[in-house]
Structure formats: C-alpha cells, structure tokens
Structure 1
Amino acid sequence: MSYVSIFMQYVGQYMKTRLTYRSDMVVELLSDLLFQAVNLVFILVVFGHTKLLSGWSKDEIIFIYGFFLVPFAFFSTFFNIWDFNERYIVKGELDRILTRPIHSLFQVILERMELESMFGVITGLVVMFYAGNNLGLTIDWYDPILFLLFVLGGALVYAGIFISLATVSFWSDSRTAIMPMMYNIGNFGRYPVDIYHQVIRYVLTWILPFAFVGVYPAAFFLNKTEWYGYAFLTPFMGIFFFGLSIFLWNVGVTKYRGAGS
C-alpha cells in the first residue's frame, strides 16, 4: 500500500471523526480566529503610536503577518508534534508505532494531524489581500508559483526545527519546556528582522531561521529588493532543515530503547 493511499485513508477517517463532533471543530476554528485577531490588534496598537517601524509601514507588517499565517497553517496541520515527548516517549506509544512497516515519523504526523488548522490559509490570504490592496501591490504571472515555493519552504523550515527538537526525546525522555519556548521564539518571524538586535537577527536567519517563514519571503512581494536574496533562499532553507530533521529522526529511532527499559 502506497504512502499516498495511507494518507488519504487517514484523512477520510479524520474527517468522519471531526464531523461527528462539529461543535468542537467550530469552537477550535473560532479560537484560532480570535488568536489571530489579537495579533492583528497588537500590530494596530503599535502603529497607533508610530507611522513607521524601522522603515516598515503598518500595511507592510500586516502583509508579512498574513503571509506568515499560510506556511504556519500547513505546519500546524501536518506537524503538530509539540507533545511528542510525553505521548510517544514517556507513555510508550512509540512502541506501537515501531511495530508497523511504515516510517515512524510518517505515522506520528498522520496521528497528530489537525486538518481544521488549514483554515489559517484562508485567513492569511484574506489578510494579505487586504494589506496588498492598501499598498497598491500588483500580481505578476510568476508570483503564484513563487508564493507556493516560499510557502512550502517556510512550512518545511518550521517542521524541520520542531522535528529536530522532538528527536531530543530519543536521547533524553525527561519532560522539558523547550517546545512552548520555541513556539514563542517562532513568533519573532512574523515581524521584520531589522527591528531586532543584530544577534537576534542572526539567530532568526541562520540558527533558528523563523525569518524564512514570514518576513524574508513576504519581502519579495513587497518589492523590498534588498531582501530578494533571502527570499529566494527560502525553499533551500526549508529543504535543508527538513532533511536535517529526518536524518536526526532516523538516527534517534535507533537509540530508542522502549518504554519499559
């Protein structure tokens, strides 16, 4: 059975389960919208006291935030492994995963899938359209292609970072608060990196490259020519960090000794 077939079967079962409890799904969608609205309000509050932030206008930063929501939605949908340590290592559910002839990470991704998070794509596109319209941005024929490449690259950057963090559990099964902390650091990618200290900017570019999820690819569509080099680097950063995470996962699985050891 192919991986595509398995994926489609998981999706089908997931939709049956979620549609059985429609009210829960609606509540989750509304809570996500509220969270995103709070972030927009924060941006508006900041610009209530200044017209520019390190040379960036309100609508430009709103556009960056909208772009950020799209790859983040893909990440939240398919790489929701924030509780990997507690669920699969501490509680021993990885033992069950490893008895099946399918790649362990693929199974974990399918089990933790949250398709309702894809609604964030619509929200992000709406926010981008609103800000882009205010900025008078135009769309060239190649922009949709680059948009898809940048979104995929940004999602893979996010996935690569968090899968890599999850692999730490293969060597140490103690509970840590590193995942929530990293989610907070990831929020820095929603804003232009040049508003931060040079050290933070370096970290967000090369160590924990969350800037490739938001500001760098979005800068291309905002015609910020000085950021074009970073924008086009986005897909390559995604492939590199995701590939690195797969390598770490494969090595980590060989170090796993089981819940009873």
Structure 2
Amino acid sequence: MKHATIFLLYVSQYMKTRLTYRIDMLMEIMSDLLFQAVNLIFILVVFGHTDMLSGWSKDEIIFIYGFFLVPFAIFGAFFNIWDFNERYIVKGEMDRILTRPVHSLFQIILERMELESLFGVITGIAVMVYAGNRLDLNVSWYDPIVFVFMVLGGAFVYAGIFILLASISFWSDSRTSIMPMMYNIGNYGRYPVDIYNKVIRFVLTWILPFAFVGVYPSAYFLGREEWYVYAFLTPVMGVAFFGFAIFMWNIGVTKYRGAGN
C-alpha cells in the first residue's frame, strides 16, 4: 500500500507538471506517432516488393507490429532508464536515491517515467484491430485476458533486459553504454524470428528474448499453432527475466562506490 500510494502521488505530480506545458507534451506524442508511422510505412514498402515474407503475409506482419507497440509503450512509460549510467552513476545521483527508505529501482522508475508513451497502447491496439479485421480473426471471450498476460509478459521481458544492462553500471562506471545498441536490437522483435538465421533466432529467443515482446505472443492470436508453446511461455519469460534483473540490481547496489570527489 505504501508503494501504491507513492506511485499515485508521483503520477499526480507528473501530470500536473506535464499539463503545465501542454504543447510540449502534445509535440512529444505527435513525435512518437510519427515514429510509429514511419515503421509501419517501412513494412508497407517491403511488401510492395513481395506478397509473403517467409510464409507471413503483410497483414500478419502489421498485426505483429501492432502487438509489439503495446508492451513497448508500457516499457517506455515506466522503465525509461536508458541514461541510467550517465545520470545516476557518473553524475552521482545514485547517492541521493540511496538516502531514501524506498527501493532504489522503484524511485528511479518514478523519476524517469514518461506517461505520454502510453498513447502507444492505443496506437498498437488500433493497428491490431485493423490487421485483425483484414485477416478475419476470431476473438474468444478469454482472448482479452490472454492478451493482458501476454502484454505484461512482453513488457517485463523488455524491462528485465534493460534493468540488467543498467545493473552493469554498478560494476563499471565507464561513460560508454550499450543501451542505444540494445534499443536497436530490440526492434528485431517486431518481425517473425524465422526470417533470421538460426543464431539470431536463438539469441532473440533465449539470450535477449525480444521475440517474446512481439512475434511469439502475436502467434497465438494469429492461430500459428506451431508457435503456441513459445506464445504461452511469454508471461513465464517475463516474470523470470524481470525477477532475475531485480536480483542482479539488488546485488549491484551493494557494489556501488559513490561518485567520489
């Protein structure tokens, strides 16, 4: 209850701050929508030269992209820690975080959240509905429940990976970071893994499991029965990676040496 109360207070203050500069917030939302539109156009351009991509149709790829946007939006809203190394380790703001009687990661999540990113959820669902109608997909009464679990699993996978990367900073305070590169690698989860070679497919499934953010959970709704095992592993992978990331974070905090003088 204490953490829930703190979270709601932070959200309230965040919204007051953002609504003070409404045009700025609107421009950020429009920028995100434009970025998503560019990626969608890229898919359309690719299918302007072919009807199928490794057995996947254009509408199926669009559906996968739409699904990917939903967990990615949740991740972007609450786990915006791409600059953790520079801000909290190199500049020493972690010292301030550790003086408070609340879990350090929870504080950083609250400080770095960008709730406007949640508009990506609306965009993603709209893209899924569009593609689903073109594919004549049937929706069962329990599919919305499955969808929620799949989305949360995908968001936790993304969050777990980047929390693990942030945890490395506790052992190495170098200014260099692999976060930008990892963001680019994460884009591979938007597309079916069977279009890649076996090595990349293995990496995207078990090492950096970005495939559980997009293609694997989407396979369930697309009726791709050969991928069902992976689809239902999505929540498991999410909990496992997120739990392991928290474990490594807690160990890393004990190794933190401070910014020095």
Partner of 1:195: 195
Distance 1:21 1:85 in 2: 28
Q: What is the deviation of 1:176?
A: 1.7
**Matched AA of 1:211:** A
Alignment root-mean-square deviation, CA: 0.7
Q: Displacement of 1:12 after TM fit?
A: 0.3
Unaligned runs of 5+ in 2: none
Q: After TM superposition, give the deviation of residue 212 of structure 1 in Å.
A: 0.1
TM-score of the superposition, structure 1-length normalised? 0.99
Could you say what secondary structure the match of 1:48 adopts? Answer: coil
Partner of 1:48: 48
Equivalence for 1:129 = 129
In 1: Cα distance, 2:62 partner to 2:71 partner:
15
- 1:138 deviates by 1.4
Aligned equivalent of 2:105: 105
Per-residue deviation, residues 98-124 of structure 1 (Å, max 9, x unmatched): 000000000000000000000000000
Query: 1:225, 1:217 → 2: CA distance?
Result: 11
Instruction: Deviation per CA, 1:15-59: give whole Å up to 9, x if none.
Output: 000000001100000100100000000000000000000000000
1:243 aligns with 2:254: no
**SS state at 2:48 partner:** coil
Q: 2: distance between equivalents of 1:177 and 1:5?
A: 33
Distance across 2 between alignment mates of 1:107 and 1:259: 19
C-alpha contact 2:79 2:159 (8 A) present in aligned 1: yes
Counterpart residue type for residue 58 of structure 1? K
* Residue of structure 2 in register with 1:8 after alignment: 8
Instruction: State the shift of 1:155 in Å.
Output: 0.2
2:85–2:177 CA contact under 8 A, matched in 1: no
Name the stretch that deviates more: 43-52 or 175-184. 175-184
How far apart, in 2, do the equivalents of 1:76 and 1:157 lie?
13
User: 1:86-105 counterparts in 2 under 5 A?
Assistant: 86-105=86-105
> What's the TM-score, normalizing by structure 2?
0.99
The separation in 2 between residues aligned to 1:229 and 1:103, in whole angstroms, is: 35
1:197-248 CA distance string (max 9 Å, x none)? 1100000000000000000000100000000000000000000000010001
Once residues 50 and 165 of structure 2 are traced to their aligned partners in structure 1, the CA distance between those partners, rounded to angstroms, is 38
Q: State percent identity of aligned pairs.
A: 78
The yes-or-no answer on 1:77 pairing with 2:77 is: yes
* 1:118 equivalent in structure 2: 118
* 1:111-144 CA-partner distances (Å, limit 9, x unpaired): 0000000000000000000000000011101100
Which amino acid letter does the alignment assign opposite residue 45 of structure 2? V
**Do structure 1's residue 216 and structure 2's residue 185 form an aligned pair?**
no
Q: CA deviation at 1:177?
A: 3.5
The Cα of 1:180 is off from its aligned counterpart by 0.3
SS in 2 for 1:10: helix
Match of residue 260 from structure 2: 260
C-alpha separation in 2, matches of 1:176 and 1:214: 29
Change (3 A) 1:258 1:177: closer
Select between 173-182 and 183-192 the one with higher mean Cα deviation. 173-182
Q: Distance in 1 between matches of 2:24 and 2:259?
A: 32
Consecutive unaligned residues in structure 1, runs of 5 or more: none
Q: Which amino acid aligns with 2:9?
A: Q
CA distance in 1, matches of 2:244, 2:230: 20
Which amino acid is the alignment partner of residue 233 of structure 1? L
